[in-house]
Structure 1
Amino acid sequence: MHSETLTLLSTTSAHLLAGLFAFTYVGSIYASKGARLRFSKRKVNLPEGQARLKLQNERWRDDPDVIKARLLAVSSATLICCLIVFIVMKNFNRDDEFHNLTANAWLHLGFTWSNALPLVITPLLFVGPLYVQFLEKSLPFQEDWDFEDDVLFRFFSIVGLRNYFVAPITEEIVFRACVLTVYHLAGASRKKMIFLSPLVFGAAHVHHAFETYHRYGRTATAAKRAIISTIIQFAYTSVFGFYCCYLFLRSGSLLPPITAHMFCNIMGIPRPSYEISLMPHRKLSISTAYLLGIIGFAFMLKPWSYTDGSLYWQRN
């Protein structure tokens, strides 16, 4: 069955569809007036690294009404992308019954359960930061952990809903499930899907340069900062995309990349040097925890990520 579906699309068609998914997702936040940002056109000279204050008539990305409009926009865009995948598969499987076609599309998109092991790979990588939180007594149910602040306010505020739920779920559906499905239908190798398709995900974040340029004063320095930050963001989102693609293909499920995305958003970028500077007497134990996490991740990534029966990893 799988070998018959490998070349339903040409490589060019897969590229065009992947670009269409990215355009639909990113474009959705500019299609609605309520979701678009608004900045003053005034130039402001600021000290290096300092952002300006928000003006009254401006609309920034963390404004509650902007977030609400964008959540609706990207959710709608995600549904459209899934519908496009369904239509593509329908065109090449005209004889399939609707039920079978839907089940096949759902399987390709990774809407299946995963076993538990792929879900704990990412927390394993973060053993160091988790150990630091343990030392700070800020892990759940420790002394400095507060349910109202650390759960209700953080996760269920409008910003929390965006950062920890809607963004990870919709981005993984579009940039992992939909993009990898069309490349799979075009017969792309696993290596190409892992290392090339995430570039679409990285490129989809380039539009943040517009906001950075305006927030830092619309000067040459602001433009330089926007370019540098965009290059850095493109790099780490692409690397993260490599990882999530690997999880998706190995497990055949969206759950591992979605949970990995959520967990990374919660934890943020590890800062071992800063953490050690705050607790120099714990330097050895913190360094050891970071090292153990990295080693454990490297050794367990392959065996823990695989789910028996994965559509993508058994096709050859």
Structure 2
Amino acid sequence: MQNESEMALQMETLPQIPVLTSVSCSFALAVIYVGSLYVWSTKHNRDHPTTIKRRFASVSIVMLIAPLFVYFFSSPELLEREPFPKLLGFRWQGLWQAIVIPYLLTALLYLGPIFVNLQNESFSSYFALDYWRGSVTSIIWIRNHVMAPLSEEFVFRACMMPLILQSFSPMTAVFITPLFFGVAHLHHISERLALGVELSTALLIGLFQFTYTTLFGFYSAYLFARTGHCIAPLLVHAFCNHMGLPDVQDLWQQELWRRVLAICLYLAGLAGWIYLLPIATDPALYDNKLFWNV
């Protein structure tokens, strides 16, 4: 006979759906998301307010459609067993932990860049009312810090991960879904070509963007699977969009002692992040018994 722990683990394991179903649905979601950005006929570039507003409308519709894939293609047994919002990463248990811990963990990763920002005027601007007034009234800021993280994490994590997790182990799912996320950003190549950028340059930038968006996708998918919350990758995504890639040029403009200290903090932040990642995302901290059973 099975002991109680084995029976509990069996009860918590996600029911399976065919691999073809989960992968096809994920591919369709990626195509629909990217396609929604180009349904409008416009002569403006991606940063023009008209283009941004239209894309807001498009991805909002996609966000309404995406949960239907989870609802109609998930295992009926899973839908009967678990509340549907829980599958999408919306639940009360472990919520405050999912808001605070992954955010602080990601800030640790950016320890070096944060130190560099403290040395210039950019950090002090965060305490100025005019900075926030200008930010929340800027449609580009809203796109980068609100709509892009919200729509991408909802579609590529909250709606895609539950499907992939029903066909693959959690770690395999973490490495599969970011590929859809990375490929979804390759459409920027065509936008750069339309602006007159040379093909070789556009391809190089596109490859670089695919690389770092895929790497972030691994992290984001890992957070979703480990915490069982959509809010964790969403807030981390917004924070990473704000911080951007480390400004190496700004680093080398620092005085020697600050530069050495900053480099040490870069390395310490990375080492600390690697060490704390499995600890700070322990599913037990978030009462997550659904998505991570390994």
Question: Which category of TM-score, normalised to the shorter sequence, fits these structures?
Answer: 0.7 to 0.9
Partner deviation per Cα, 1:173-222 (whole Å, 9 max, x = no partner): 11112111111222x012211112110000101111111112135xxxx1
Q: Does 1:265 align with 2:241?
A: yes
Amino acid at match of 2:159: C
**Structure 1 residues 155 and 143, CA gap change in structure 2 (3 angstroms):** closer
TM-score by length of 2: 0.87
Match of 1:120 in 2: 104
Work out whether residues 220 and 233 of structure 2, in 8 Å CA contact, stay in contact via their aligned partners in 1: yes
Deviation at 1:291, TM superposition (A): 1.9
**Structure 1 residues 268 and 143, CA gap change in structure 2 (3 angstroms):** closer
5 Å matches for 1:92-171?
Answer: 92-93=76-77, 96=80, 104-112=83-91, 113-115=95-97, 116-139=100-123, 142=124, 146-148=128-130, 150-171=131-152
Count of residue pairs brought into register by the alignment: 277
Of 234, 242, 254, 2:218 maps to 242
Match of 1:292 in 2: 268
Indicate the larger mover: 60-69 or 288-297: 288-297
- Unpaired runs of 5+ residues, structure 2, are 1-10
Partner deviation per Cα, 1:230-288 (whole Å, 9 max, x = no partner): 11111111111001111111111111111110001101101235322244452222112
Work out whether residues 102 and 236 of structure 2, in 8 Å CA contact, stay in contact via their aligned partners in 1: no
Aligned to 2:229, the other structure's residue is in SS state coil
5 Å matches for 1:1-316?
Answer: 1-3=11-13, 5-7=14-16, 9-33=17-41, 37-38=42-43, 59-89=44-74, 92-93=76-77, 96=80, 104-112=83-91, 113-115=95-97, 116-139=100-123, 142=124, 146-148=128-130, 150-186=131-167, 188-217=168-197, 222-308=198-284, 309-316=287-294
CA distance in 1 between partners of 2:89 and 2:289 (Å): 9
Aligned to 1:235, the other structure's residue is in SS state helix
Q: Percent of aligned pairs with the same residue?
A: 30
Work out whether residues 37 and 59 of structure 2, in 8 Å CA contact, stay in contact via their aligned partners in 1: yes
**Structure 1 residues 288 and 190, CA gap change in structure 2 (3 angstroms):** same
Partner deviation per Cα, 1:145-182 (whole Å, 9 max, x = no partner): 5321x322124311111100010011011111211111
Aligned to 1:310, the other structure's residue is in SS state coil
**Structure 1 residues 236 and 312, CA gap change in structure 2 (3 angstroms):** farther
CA distance in 2 between partners of 1:172 and 1:263 (Å): 13
Deviation at 1:31, TM superposition (A): 2.1
Amino acid at match of 1:30: Y
* Structure with more of its chain in helix, by fraction: 2
TM-score by length of 1: 0.81
Aligned to 1:197, the other structure's residue is in SS state helix
**Structure 1 residues 258 and 31, CA gap change in structure 2 (3 angstroms):** same
Across the aligned residues of Structure 1 and Structure 2, the Cα RMSD in angstroms comes to 2.2
**Structure 1 residues 212 and 300, CA gap change in structure 2 (3 angstroms):** same
- Unpaired runs of 5+ residues, structure 1, are 39-58
CA distance in 2 between partners of 1:67 and 1:245 (Å): 26
Partner deviation per Cα, 1:96-115 (whole Å, 9 max, x = no partner): 4xxx7xx6221111113251
**Structure 1 residues 265 and 107, CA gap change in structure 2 (3 angstroms):** same
Partner deviation per Cα, 1:88-127 (whole Å, 9 max, x = no partner): 24x725994xxx7xx6221111113251322211111111
Deviation at 1:87, TM superposition (A): 2.5
CA distance in 2 between partners of 1:209 and 1:119 (Å): 31
CA distance in 2 between partners of 1:121 and 1:72 (Å): 33
